[in-house]
Chain A
């Protein structure tokens, strides 16, 4: 099995004395889906953002797609990684002044130097995969949250990434819109995409993930299969968290 992400003893603090990441280690192999869970402020976003260099770290080692990132944060290496790793954000972060199709073709044309026509054809294909090709000429503000997030996924896919990072992709959506995004993610997982997903959607985690990683105060509390995590979590802290999730 080919490892896509390896993190070893990652440690980071934003403010002195407060560890956002505390000795975190993990491995994600090709074609696998890792779900990251944990209470607010436990360091989930910080963790996955170190994998595409949006966040730096103080100690430890990260290896993404065979490219090693050190704490010194080498820009050129990070640029190489970003061309091969897609990211989807909680707030979508679409470019409001560009049309849906322009949002998607920007990176392929300017980063991968593909021809405009070629990028547009592939962009339209991705939009149809997401069921939103009829919106191609519209602007982000004219779309619903669920539609915007599917555009964001298409945008992340446009560079044909080998790894996708999701940071709470459905947390900003109305309940009835959540499934249209989760369905798109399910399909990606079935197609063999390697994914790291920060989410509190238990159904999705149970059905799609290969591993669940539970964090608290910057530490990994446990990493297990979803079967064990949701029925028989080892740690008291995890059980307490799941109980609370059930209440909502």
Chain B
């Protein structure tokens, strides 16, 4: 392409982007004037006057909208962090089973990965909520002497109670993401040259020792970026909480929009909340990544 042509194309792209942004801002101002609400955040400090089933910190309906949103953010954080842990543990186990020598385990995990990855997450959440938890008898499904109790009220684990909404979300998100994590782990393991397996085997090291000391340390740099993006997906998918009636940040935003009509402000808040959540995840992973790279004295 000639230089003059290049400049022309770039000018064209700039023009297109500027007009698009202008159009959006124009729409926004028209809508704001039509609702007659104006753009401000003063309403945040009015009483929310709705109840929340779950709140990690004290909350009552006389508390203000800002506090309700913060509770929602904490609820989101709680379900994201716990399903992230479940997904990681499950995904790692299944990833290893998938690559391992045991043909039956490998087949089973391949089946698990296929089924989970090829059905919509919303469907899986509904499954865990309606067929899973709400399907249990109201007294008990599993009850082992004060240790664990699973019923349509959720999970009770030695003093810790998890609502059925939270449990369904935990299982749904955790299991859904674990299938993707298993594939990330498998990719990482396959990225280690075959010669490394042959070398540790020829030295008489057991499969377990070889995996832990030779294969995993070399697979980690290939696993971490994929793992991070699965974590970010999980965080974003957690907004499906609204489907099972769990009061996460998205569900609470939705309620507030219905009550106040402050759609634009609420979307900005939602956007910022998720940006904050995902920056948190990204930074944590970056720290882990750096520690691993720094502890690595070779290139």
Question: A: which residues have CB within 8 A of B?
Answer: 52-54, 79, 82-83, 85-87, 89, 91, 93-97, 99, 106-107, 110-111, 139-142, 155-156, 159
B64 within 8 A of A: no
**Given known contacts A54-B198, A89-B195, A110-B209, is B296 in contact with A97 (CB within 8 Å)?**
yes
For B204, list chain A residues within 8 Å (CB). Answer: 79, 82-83, 107, 111, 159
Candidates B205, B209, B218; contact of A96 at CB < 8 Å: B218
For A156, list chain B residues within 8 Å (CB). Answer: 202-203
Closest 6 CB pairs of A and B: A93-B199, A139-B298, A93-B195, A82-B204, A107-B203, A87-B202
For A89, list chain B residues within 8 Å (CB). Answer: 195, 198-199
Q: How many chain B residues have a CB neighbour from A under 8 Å?
A: 21
Do A93 and B298 touch across chains, with their CB atoms under 8 A apart? no
Do B203 and A82 touch across chains, with their CB atoms under 8 A apart? yes
Chain B 204-243, CB-CB to A under 8 Å as 1, else 0, gives 1110010001100110000000000000000000000000
For A95, list chain B residues within 8 Å (CB). Answer: 196, 199-200, 214
Candidates B196, B198, B205; contact of A107 at CB < 8 Å: B205
Interface-central residue, A83, A85, A106, A156, by most chain B CB under 10 Å? A106
Do A139 and B297 touch across chains, with their CB atoms under 8 A apart? yes
State A52–B200 Cα separation when bound (angstroms).
12
Candidates B193, B205, B299; contact of A111 at CB < 8 Å: B205
For B213, list chain A residues within 8 Å (CB). Answer: 106, 110
User: A47 CB to closest chain B CB, in angstroms?
Assistant: 15
For A159, list chain B residues within 8 Å (CB). Answer: 203-204
For A54, list chain B residues within 8 Å (CB). Answer: 198, 201-202
Do B198 and A93 touch across chains, with their CB atoms under 8 A apart? yes
State A140–B199 Cα separation when bound (angstroms).
14
Interface-central residue, A96, A111, A142, by most chain B CB under 10 Å? A96
State A79–B206 Cα separation when bound (angstroms).
8
Apart from A107-B204, A139-B297, what are 8 other A-B pairs with CB-CB below 8 Å? A52-B202, A54-B201, A54-B202, A87-B198, A89-B195, A91-B193, A97-B218, A159-B203
State A94–B200 Cα separation when bound (angstroms).
9
Identify whether the interface residues of B are mostly helix, strand, loop, or mixed: helix
For B199, list chain A residues within 8 Å (CB). Answer: 89, 93-95
User: B114 CB to closest chain A CB, in angstroms?
Assistant: 27
User: A65 CB to closest chain B CB, in angstroms?
Assistant: 13
Q: List 14 A-B contacts (CB under 8 A).
A: A54-B198, A79-B204, A85-B202, A87-B202, A89-B198, A93-B196, A94-B199, A97-B218, A99-B297, A107-B203, A110-B213, A139-B298, A142-B298, A155-B203
Candidates A53, A96, A99, A111; contact of B203 at CB < 8 Å: A111
User: B221 CB to closest chain A CB, in angstroms?
Assistant: 10
State A44–B170 Cα separation when bound (angstroms).
54
For A85, list chain B residues within 8 Å (CB). Answer: 202
**Given known contacts A82-B204, A155-B203, is B198 in contact with A96 (CB within 8 Å)?**
no
Do B202 and A86 touch across chains, with their CB atoms under 8 A apart? yes
Residue in chain B with minimal CB distance to A112: B204
User: B198 CB to closest chain A CB, in angstroms?
Assistant: 6
Do B298 and A140 touch across chains, with their CB atoms under 8 A apart? yes
User: A149 CB to closest chain B CB, in angstroms?
Assistant: 13
User: A14 CB to closest chain B CB, in angstroms?
Assistant: 14
For A53, list chain B residues within 8 Å (CB). Answer: 201
State A142–B199 Cα separation when bound (angstroms).
19
User: A162 CB to closest chain B CB, in angstroms?
Assistant: 13
For A99, list chain B residues within 8 Å (CB). Answer: 297
Residue in chain B with minimal CB distance to A86: B202
State A173–B278 Cα separation when bound (angstroms).
48
Do B203 and A106 touch across chains, with their CB atoms under 8 A apart? yes
State A82–B198 Cα separation when bound (angstroms).
11
Residue in chain A with minimal CB distance to B202: A87
Candidates A93, A97, A110, A140; contact of B205 at CB < 8 Å: A110
State A140–B201 Cα separation when bound (angstroms).
19
Residue in chain B with minimal CB distance to A55: B198
For A96, list chain B residues within 8 Å (CB). Answer: 218, 298
For B218, list chain A residues within 8 Å (CB). Answer: 96-97
User: A137 CB to closest chain B CB, in angstroms?
Assistant: 10
User: B104 CB to closest chain A CB, in angstroms?
Assistant: 16
State A122–B47 Cα separation when bound (angstroms).
76
Chain B 153-194, CB-CB to A under 8 Å as 1, else 0, gives 000000000000000000000000000000000000000010
For A91, list chain B residues within 8 Å (CB). Answer: 193, 195
For B296, list chain A residues within 8 Å (CB). Answer: 97
**Given known contacts A93-B195, A95-B214, A97-B217, is B202 in contact with A141 (CB within 8 Å)?**
no
**Given known contacts A91-B195, A95-B196, A95-B214, is B209 in contact with A82 (CB within 8 Å)?**
no
State A140–B196 Cα separation when bound (angstroms).
13
Interface-central residue, A54, A107, A155, by most chain B CB under 10 Å? A107
Chain B 8-33, CB-CB to A under 8 Å as 1, else 0, gives 00000000000000000000000000
For A52, list chain B residues within 8 Å (CB). Answer: 202
Candidates A82, A106, A139; contact of B202 at CB < 8 Å: A82
